[in-house]
Structure 1
Amino acid sequence: MVEGIEFANPQFFWLLLALPIAVVWYIFTRKRQTASLKISSIKGFNVSGQLLPKLRPLLFGFRLLALAALITAMARPQTVDVSTKTKTNKGIDIIMAIDMSSSMLARDLKPNRLSALKKVAAEFVNGRPSDRIGLVVYAGESYTKTPITSDKRIVQNALRDINFDGLIEDGTAIGMGLATAVNRLKESKAQSKVIILLTDGVNNSGFIDPNTASELAVEFGIKTYTIGLGTNGNALAPVALNPNGTFRYGYKQVEIDEKLLKEIAKETGGKYFRATNNKKLEEIYEEINKLEKTEIEEFKYYNYQEKFRPLVWLAGILLLLELLMRATVFRSFV
């Protein structure tokens, strides 16, 4: 296949095998194509080398080239312009509810839990080009960081801005975070609505019970995937504040209410995951990405431009040239 050119009927190229056969036939029959005169001596003739008889095979060359051009034209060379249009048949609205309590600065994941999560979540967002995504953050209370939007640039910027800055009360209000996410999705017209709820602790703040928030998710048909973040055993985490406002780190027992997270996932038709390291966290988001597939229909439009006509013209010109030369320049040798 020539660069940029396709052939609609490439099977006609098999006819090119006839060209070498024609060349062999021409070589063996060439001498018989010219009349000969037998004489006893040519001493009386002035013999000199003439160029014209040596050029006679050009006539056969023109015919071969014309035949090759016609065979190529029969193969129908063409260029194809393909345009693609996609249509999303089943959109998904996703809210990521992220725990941003001080314990998310623990260093059992590298460089810490929050930074590791932000990196993996950003990759997840990039892998959902056809879906709308929003962000809810919570600690002792919760709020919407970004409403559901199809603008991934806004979501990525909001993800980068998530930090524990003390603007909201410290703690882990799982019920509040889930309820806020449900509130953002309840009016959604999407066929599939999903919450990804991540926490590294137990519910110890807020005025909404997690089970109540779970019931609301069920009522509005919202599936919830829950992720418990943190290694098993002890983790190096903030334990106090230094005089200059920085955190003092020490080893603390990792406490995650896995029973609650499993109940929420089961009630809403989701699934519970436990991320104990960076790699496991990446694998969890990859699995959620596979579980929540967006159905996309792709339409392709083909515009063909035929390129055989110049080859037919070339073959015609070569054959005409051969006839003219036979009738003029080479008329005495035929």
Structure 2
Amino acid sequence: MKFGNLQNIIYLIFPIILLLTMILGMKKRKDILKALKLKNKKYISLLKVLFLTLGALLVVLALLSPQKEIEDEQVEVKGMNIYVLIDTSRSMLTEDVYPNRLEAGKRVLANLVQSLKGDRVGFIPFSDSAYIQMPLTDDYTITQNYINALDTTLISGGGTELYQALELAEKSFEEIGSENKTVIVLSDGGDFDKKSLDFVKKNNIDVYSIGIGTSEGNVIPEYINGIKRGFIKDENGAAVISKLNSDFLQKIASENNGKYYEVNNLIDTSKNFINDTANLERKNQRNEKTKNYEKYYQYPLALGMIFILLGYLLKEVIKDEE
């Protein structure tokens, strides 16, 4: 026997409070009756306390959802395998999108994950290098913790090395024998990268790129110990202006069956991603075990209500002392 809602165990405090309150009430009533030279039948008072307390305990037991595992069921699940490649280079701190490009990207990523159903998703941050932060999973409840952890300090350096992130995604796809290879790139584009274009085409990876920023761009803030200390400057002492490289992102998306989207303060076409992928064939199939339980909450609940009703209906008989 297992309990499906152990978090409700906190409600045990109510039967305890009820028991203590009724015991104190009995003592106070006894003193009052004694002063008035009256008495009542103790066993009725004790039964009333017992029934009400036991009833409350049984209701709490029902809230804990007692259940018994009866069998495992094999379920066939179809879905895409999606790796999200998140640019964490310093240019993503540019504030031409509120509050900056990285935070806007994290917001877009959270919305995308919330709209997935059956697809597995993984995260690969990249800058001067890349690593798999979250492997492919369909447990969407844990993704927000990984999204919150995304930061420009995760990877040393400030470049944009997309190729390495694509390599990691491709290796992971190969290891699981994925027929669908879908990648979402969240980036401001960085520099034109022919190596990445060739890699995507060679390995038949569908890239859905989301450009975050504006064509006008802005200066890149410089942070020291988490505090903004001016702007990043070039060798001549001039502030570096980072602009959205939408041309590269559009090019890499067009290599196969992908699509380009853009996000800034005025538009957010990334919302169309789910609609654009909804009708794609889900070739990847996997069998997952689901646990089936027989629930028994109705029995303690019904019994508890009966005891509470009995306790409520019991009337104490008061008479003069003999």
TM-score category (smaller protein): 0.5 to 0.7
Give the aligned partner of residue 247 of structure 1: 228
- Residues 214 and 268 of structure 1 are in contact (CA less than 8 Å); yes or no, is this contact kept in structure 2? no
Separation in structure 1 between the aligned mates of residue 277 and residue 179 of structure 2, nearest angstrom = 12
**Which ranges in structure 1 are unaligned for 5 or more consecutive residues?**
1-84, 205-209, 297-334
Instruction: Flag the structure with larger Rg.
Output: 1
AA of the residue aligned to 1:140:
D
Asked if 1:197 is matched to 2:185, the reply is: yes
Give the aligned partner of residue 194 of structure 2: 211
How far apart are 1:234 and its partner, in Å? Answer: 3.6
Give per-residue Cα distances to partners, 1:85-123, cap 9 Å, x unaligned: 9x7774111111000011212222222211121122112
Asked if 1:293 is matched to 2:285, the reply is: no
Asked if 1:177 is matched to 2:160, the reply is: no
2:116 counterpart SS class: coil
Aligned counterpart for 1:163 among listed residues 140, 151, 154: 151
Q: Given the superposition, is the C-alpha separation of residues 166 and 92 from structure 1 closer, same or farther in structure 2, using an over 3 Å criterion?
A: closer
How far apart are 1:224 and its partner, in Å? Answer: 0.4
Asked if 1:127 is matched to 2:112, the reply is: no
- Residues 201 and 255 of structure 2 are in contact (CA less than 8 Å); yes or no, is this contact kept in structure 1? yes
- Residues 93 and 132 of structure 1 are in contact (CA less than 8 Å); yes or no, is this contact kept in structure 2? yes
Q: Given the superposition, is the C-alpha separation of residues 252 and 170 from structure 1 closer, same or farther in structure 2, using an over 3 Å criterion?
A: closer
Give per-residue Cα distances to partners, 1:226-282, cap 9 Å, x unaligned: 2221123142531x455x5633344753333333222211112212233232x623x
Q: Return 98-107 or 176-185, whichever deviates more.
A: 176-185
Separation in structure 2 between the aligned mates of residue 255 and residue 108 of structure 1, nearest angstrom = 9
Give the alignment's Cα RMSD to 1 decimal: 2.9
Separation in structure 1 between the aligned mates of residue 178 and residue 155 of structure 2, nearest angstrom = 33
Give the aligned partner of residue 229 of structure 1: 212
Instruction: Output the TM-score relative to the length of structure 1.
Output: 0.53
Give per-residue Cα distances to partners, 1:18-37, cap 9 Å, x unaligned: xxxxxxxxxxxxxxxxxxxx
Give the aligned partner of residue 312 of structure 2: none
- The number of equivalent residue pairs is 202
AA of the residue aligned to 1:96:
V
Identity among equivalent positions (%) equals: 29
AA of the residue aligned to 1:223:
D
Give per-residue Cα distances to partners, 1:161-190, cap 9 Å, x unaligned: 111226422211122223322222233444
**Which ranges in structure 2 are unaligned for 5 or more consecutive residues?**
1-72, 232-238, 283-322
How far apart are 1:197 and its partner, in Å? Answer: 0.9
Instruction: Output the TM-score relative to the length of structure 2.
Output: 0.55
How far apart are 1:289 and its partner, in Å? Answer: 1.1
Give the aligned partner of residue 106 of structure 1: 94
- Residues 178 and 214 of structure 1 are in contact (CA less than 8 Å); yes or no, is this contact kept in structure 2? no
Where in structure 2 are the equivalents of 1:1-334 lying within 5 Å? 90-165=78-153, 167-203=155-191, 210-238=193-221, 240-242=222-224, 246-250=227-231, 252-277=240-265, 280-281=267-268, 283-284=269-270, 286-293=271-278
Give the aligned partner of residue 24 of structure 1: none
Q: Given the superposition, is the C-alpha separation of residues 252 and 230 from structure 1 closer, same or farther in structure 2, using an over 3 Å criterion?
A: farther
Separation in structure 1 between the aligned mates of residue 154 and residue 122 of structure 2, nearest angstrom = 22
- Residues 195 and 225 of structure 1 are in contact (CA less than 8 Å); yes or no, is this contact kept in structure 2? yes
- Residues 79 and 118 of structure 2 are in contact (CA less than 8 Å); yes or no, is this contact kept in structure 1? yes
- Residues 132 and 150 of structure 1 are in contact (CA less than 8 Å); yes or no, is this contact kept in structure 2? yes
Q: Given the superposition, is the C-alpha separation of residues 230 and 99 from structure 1 closer, same or farther in structure 2, using an over 3 Å criterion?
A: same
Q: Given the superposition, is the C-alpha separation of residues 249 and 183 from structure 1 closer, same or farther in structure 2, using an over 3 Å criterion?
A: farther
